[in-house]
Amino acid sequence: MITLHIENTIADYDAWKAAFDRYDRARRDHHVLAYRISRPVDDPATVHIDLDFDTREDATTFAQVLEKIWQTPLSAAVSSTHAAPELRTLEEATA
């Protein structure tokens, strides 16, 4: 399994989550199998999002979609910085 791990600094969680939810169809259309949202207990202005994919190709394609989304006015409105979110591609480790 491949996971896109995103770390983002946000201005308001409720506004950010509403914006995130608007892209549910895009996640489905780009083969996101599941996602998790978490927040550090001592930093409510940060969100971590993990998006799971079957293949690296699907993850890479969706990362390109995210880059375009992050340039939209809606994305800028819910971000508390002008920097793009941090994005990492992770591969599940085997024992």
pLDDT, tens only, 7-16 = 998 888 998 9
Cβ neighbours of 81 (radius 10 Å): 12
The pLDDT of residue 80 is 65
- The answer for residues whose C-beta is within 8 angstroms of residue 21's C-beta and 6 or more apart is none
Average pLDDT for residues 2-9, to the nearest whole number?
A: 94
- What's the CA gap between 32 and 57, in Å, rounded? 12
pLDDT digits (tens, 9 = 90+) for 52-95: 999 999 999 999 999 888 887 777 667 766 667 888 999 988 77
pLDDT of residue 82: 60
Q: What are the boundaries of each domain within the chain?
A: 2-91
pLDDT tens, position by position, 15-59: 899 989 999 999 999 999 999 999 999 998 999 999 999 999 999
- CATH class, 2-91 region: alpha beta
pLDDT at 72: 75
Q: Are 81 and 70 in contact (CB under 8 A)?
A: no
CA atoms of 38 and 46, how far apart (whole Å)? 9
